[in-house]
Structure 1
């Protein structure tokens, strides 16, 4: 960083962060300069004050210390950028640091129905570090907040797609509906389901799942392990993660391949050529790369499971470890995308013939998904986005999906009171994006890294008064939390004689597809509690089912 800073000074340039830092330092060390600007500005206006960081707050203090009138606009309940330095404390301590300020609460809302506002007010009221306000509207009372307890993430996506189809059939536009999620990785299942239902969609402020860099990197490793002559894959991953193979080495490698009229791999795998044309450091790095690809290829050559092949690629390549070591919020999101790629592999394993070439079929499907362009910006299309991206937007019909403990709120937030309050503010922001209809979804079981998990519904759902909600599957919703806390069956496997275990997917000739949620009894008295997607919750004696 010292070298970077020195270079910037030599060139007379500075980056955005330094614009603030150097200004504050200038004012701190040169009072005469600060005094000049204090006399120049008689009023200071700051918008979105809840998103300011410590440095920005210090700059405001410096400018206003000379008597300038301060006017800020902000909503402490919408402070959701703590991960990039924003401090909700800035707006909370404003009256203490500027005692002459008067606070005006703008509580009338012109966007959402009163029911949606009451639900959002109830959730955010659980936070202790807030100034406090209660939103209200003089518009319609509106429909109840819809709660959908899905069997799994596929059922969740199916329900949302079919509900949007009904919205459109009733005269609504596709672009009036938005699907909001906590993690970018959640978009994959929805993209797949939207394509199956032939519904137009657009990922707002981001890339579609198979267009994301880390997914392209992992699939490039997989392609190269199966087909060495893929020059595009070689060029993409030869130095990803960084392994000391620079642009000059790659250019030399490319030139050798062009002169010989062969793919890049033919040069890489020719020890004599590598030894003759490359120095010791580059030579070692290239050999390590070829050995890595050969090792990955040998492992997946005897593997029929796509999930295990993807796990090998993601972990042996170093992609996952590189993101873990980075430790940033963005790196965590990219790691979650790799986890979701493994999930995709586990679904393929469950739904395809083990004798088929799952890897090549998956690569072909992924290429088609990446090439199937999303809807144009501004077109009539369903909007997919993270909750953070949704801030400042509004839609008549909103779905917040994946509302489960450990996902939203995240596990990291559950372990920190301050982060949990920020997660709750994020829920508040998401809920208040809805103008007319709001649907909250959670899955009773969800795959993570190819393994089934049975999460609890998000606490944010339970914080909404019951009279404001309407459950799509009322018997399931009303009993699910109690069942998960009290049923001993939820913490144990099926008895040895039971034909099913908890979480198994089943199909009934009358009730259709369902999920085994509890088992009790023995022998001919063995009963299963099954949640059916269409028929709801049923207790069935297995001997007669």
Structure 2
């Protein structure tokens, strides 16, 4: 079974318990039908874990085992909770409570506060930094912005690991955590911060968990009330729980065992916040009778991406690595991951922007036709984004920064939602809607009153960003209208209200720029992992073996975000003309061409840079056929020689091949490079293949191109007349061949691959 990667967010609802199980694979079905006792699901990236647990809850509801109101499903982000809530609603289990740990605890705290303490609950402070800055000032410390952020992070870590201000220095030593500044000073700021909150009667997010834990511990009557309400629990991303969250979960459960946890130790990337995979890894020790199910069928990524991900973890060490899952792709083969080295960071960003433009180019124009919303550029630190923002702007590619201003906080979205609410209340009396066709047409008509137009504005920048934001609301209406033809404007407004509450934004049509941490839980058709140098990934302050392994897992998360296209790149210097003193990330050793393995698999892994012929990848380092030096550049690997070594190319044959390519491209209505790139033609003119086997051995000549163009190329190499047209196997005019463009995907820096006029 392969799930559609772009399925509508509004699928039809099943009508029976058995219908809920339709389309699940055997392991997902095992999760869905095991409704009693503790269940531990080890779920690899892209294996459909959310599908499995939402269908489990829905199956329990439809079969009468669960009452919706008695089920509490918790996860770690508002977006994930909103997505789970939407899926459950479509599966006919809309009454199930789906929340983050903090949201569930806050709801209970606010409800029981008058009974447990009396009076109104304290006000929640959403941003700590102003209070931390004031606390530091009272301690006679002047902290810069980044220092304030570091101290705030230390306070958060201490609270979720239940460490008091006076115990903070000792806890640092015990945990092996490297403090960003003097522990005694941080302890002093921490204590003053806590006193400031008490003086002003406010609490922070960590207090929500601490106070709820305290309330449930001290008040047995309140704990029993909560346990009568919630009898069945599902915890997603269980590898990310902190000691405080685990304690809260234990109090919710009491002496019962109706608990299903889902996680993957190989995706533990938040230990700096107090998260630990230990509770996942020791679940069966604490629950010896637990049912264990492993999900390893990857429905997200191609075999090429999955192979690289598996190879990355094969070199890992530590406790999490002992429990790694070997993924098995369920998708058809795709292009090999691209490894690209650049002289400096601007050159890297420009190459990425150029490649993204090629991916966005419609298929009928020789491109891949990938939507901008299905492309992501991921980096280790947010400070890296500026170079890519500039490069994409220069290339005229729309983009959005993930982790910046929240979607529903944008002025144009607030204005649009207000307008939609007003139109929904007016209903049939609203003249704006009178001539609109369908739900999407009505939404477009309402948004037109705020200045939106169906046609995008010219260029990029803020005006285009605003247009893309509003266009995402129209697309949401289109999806809802297709799923529910009778849907009206009020239904869309209700959907928006739920999404606003959950901060579950619709898709915006723009390339996503995000940190690797912010990309967790997301996926795209094409992913560019950039800045992969030692010192950035692993980052410099990762000192201990455990910290370095977490950096490896962070790269693994990045790799597994890609469905089809994956590019990994690095720059040897920061700026043009700078010293080229950087080296590629050590995590790529044994995976990128020409590198020795740092452990686990050797260089004969799944990826060879610059190879385009599927199933015929060279194994291990590729030597120059002239001098024997190991080749690393994509163009050199394709030609099988160093750029400096003498060429044996037949110049006359090369020109004949170029003329032939131009004729075939016109005939097939494709750009010339979609037939063969210049580099592939150079390789043919140098090796002079005399048989199909020899021609197939040239990088860039895939099986389809061999069938389609092989007879012509061999005839040209032999100096013979071209065979009759019916001897070839051309694709229909205007239809790209299955491996068209493979050379472009494999060779990123070949400047001669521009279309001929």
TM-score range, shorter chain: 0.5 to 0.7
Q: 1:168 to 1:42 in 2, by over 3 A?
A: closer
Equivalent residue, structure 2, for 1:284: none
The aligned residue for residue 167 of structure 1 is: 359
1:428 aligns with 2:556: yes
**Does the Cα contact within 8 Å between 1:145 and 1:468 map onto a contact in 2?**
no
CA distance in 1, matches of 2:239, 2:324: 14
1:91 to 280, 289, 305: 280
* In 1: Cα distance, 2:532 partner to 2:343 partner: 13
Structure 2 match to 1:397 = 526
Q: CA separation in 1, counterparts of 2:405 and 2:204?
A: 26
Matched-pair contact (CA < 8 Å) for 1:38–1:66? no
Alignment of 1:483-502 (within 5 A): none
Q: Distance in 1 between matches of 2:396 and 2:343?
A: 23
Matched, 1:454 2:652: no
Q: Which has the higher contact order (CA 8 A, sep 6+)?
A: 1
CA-CA distance at 1:119 after TM superposition: 0.8
Q: 147, 151, 155: which one pairs with 2:339?
A: 147
What is aligned with 1:188?
A: 386
Q: What's the CA shift for 1:407?
A: 0.6
Going from structure 1 to structure 2, the CA distance change for 1:391 and 1:2 (only over 3 Å counts) comes to closer
User: Within the alignment, does 1:177 sit opposite 2:375 as a pair?
Assistant: yes
Tell me: CA distance 1:447–1:99, structure 2 relative to 1, closer, same or farther (3 Å): farther
Aligned residues: 324
TM-score, scaled relative to structure 2: 0.39
Counterpart for residue 568 of structure 2? 440
2:609 to 455, 458, 471: 471
Q: Is the 8 A contact 1:148 1:472 kept in 2?
A: no
Displacement of 1:431 after TM fit?
0.6
Please report how far the alpha carbon of residue 10 of structure 1 lies from its aligned counterpart in structure 2 after TM superposition.
8.2
Instruction: Using the TM superposition, name which of 132-141 and 61-70 deviates more.
Output: 61-70
TM-score for both structures, normalised by structure 1: 0.53
- Residues 431 and 438, structure 1, Cα contact 8 Å, conserved in 2: yes
3-state SS of paired residue (2:319): coil
For 1:395 and 1:454, the matched residues in 2 are separated by 32
- Residue 7 of structure 1, CA deviation: 7.6
5 Å-filtered alignment, 1:274-353, equals none
Q: How far is the alpha carbon of 1:458 from its aligned partner?
A: 0.8
| Residues 1:128 and 2:318 are matched in the alignment | yes
**SS of residue in 2 equivalent to 1:117:** helix
Is 1:59–2:248 an aligned residue pair?
yes
- SS of match in other structure, 2:519: coil
Deviations 1:500-544 (A, max 9, x none): xxxxxxxxxxxxxxxxxxxxxxxxxxxxxxxx96589xxxxxxxx
1:100 alignment partner, SS class? coil
The secondary structure found in structure 1 opposite 2:285 is helix
Over 6 Å off, 4+ runs? 1-4, 6-12, 369-373, 473-477
Aligned to 1:438, the other structure's residue is in SS state strand
Could you tell me how far 1:154 is from its partner in structure 2? 1.6
* Contact 2:318–2:546 under 8 Å retained in 1: no
1:74 matched residue in structure 2: 263
- Cα distance in 1 for partners of 2:293, 2:516 equals 27
In structure 2, the gaps of 5 or more residues are 1-189, 362-366, 407-459, 473-507, 592-602, 612-621, 634-747, 753-757
Question: Distance between the aligned counterparts of 1:142 and 1:370, measured in 2?
Answer: 33
Deviation of 1:48 (Å) = 1.6
Looking at structure 2, the residues matched to 136 and 479 of structure 1 have their Cα atoms a distance apart, in angstroms, of 31
Contact kept, 8 Å, 1:116 with 1:431, in 2: the verdict is yes
- Following superposition, the deviation at residue 150 of structure 1 comes to 1.1
Residue among 540, 544, 547 paired with 1:416:
544
1-side partners of 2:201 and 2:750: how far apart? 66
1:406 to 495, 511, 535: 535
1:170-319 matches, within 5 Å, as 170=367, 171-206=369-404
Alignment-derived partner of residue 504 in structure 1: none
Aligned-residue offset at 1:21? 0.8
Distance 1:439 1:466, change over 3 A: farther
For 2:509, the equivalent position in structure 1 comes to 380
Q: Does 1:23 align with 2:200?
A: no
Distance in 2 between residues matched to 1:480 and 1:23, nearest whole Å: 57
Q: Offset at 1:27? A: 3.7
Partner of 2:79: none
**Offset of residue 440 of structure 1:** 0.4
Partner of 1:127, secondary structure, is coil
Q: Per the alignment, in what secondary structure is the counterpart of residue 440 of structure 1?
A: strand
1:269-289 CA-to-partner distances (Å, cap 9, x unmatched) read: xxxxxxxxxxxxxxxxxxxxx
1:98–1:13 CA distance, 2 compared to 1 (3 A):
farther
Would you say the 8 A contact 1:176–1:382 is kept in 2?
yes
Return the alpha-carbon distance in structure 2 between the equivalents of residues 207 and 471 of structure 1: 37
1:325-362 superposed Cα distances (whole Å, 9 cap, x missing partner): xxxxxxxxxxxxxxxxxxxxxxxxxxxxxxxxxxxxxx
- Tell me if structure 1 keeps the 8 A contact 2:305–2:562: yes
Residues 94 and 111 of structure 1, relative CA distance in 2, 3 Å threshold: same
3-state SS of 1:112 partner: coil
> Which SS does the other structure have where 1:18 is aligned?
helix
Alpha-carbon deviations, 1:235-283, whole Å to 9, x = none? xxxxxxxxxxxxxxxxxxxxxxxxxxxxxxxxxxxxxxxxxxxxxxxxx
Instruction: For residues 57-101 of structure 1, give each alpha carbon's deviation from its aligned partner in whole angstroms, at most 9, with x where no partner exists.
Output: 122233334123221111221121122221122222222222232
Mark the CA change 1:480 to 1:4 in structure 2 (over 3 Å): closer, same or farther: same
RMSD: 3.4
User: Separation in 2 of the partners of 1:62 and 1:423?
Assistant: 33
Gaps of 5+ in 1: 209-368, 482-531, 537-545
Change (3 A) 1:2 1:436: closer
Where 1:412 maps in the other structure, the secondary structure is coil
Which secondary structure does the structure 1 equivalent of 2:548 belong to?
A: helix
CA contact (8 A) 1:127 1:424 kept: no
Contact 2:351–2:749, Cα closer than 8 Å, also in 1: no
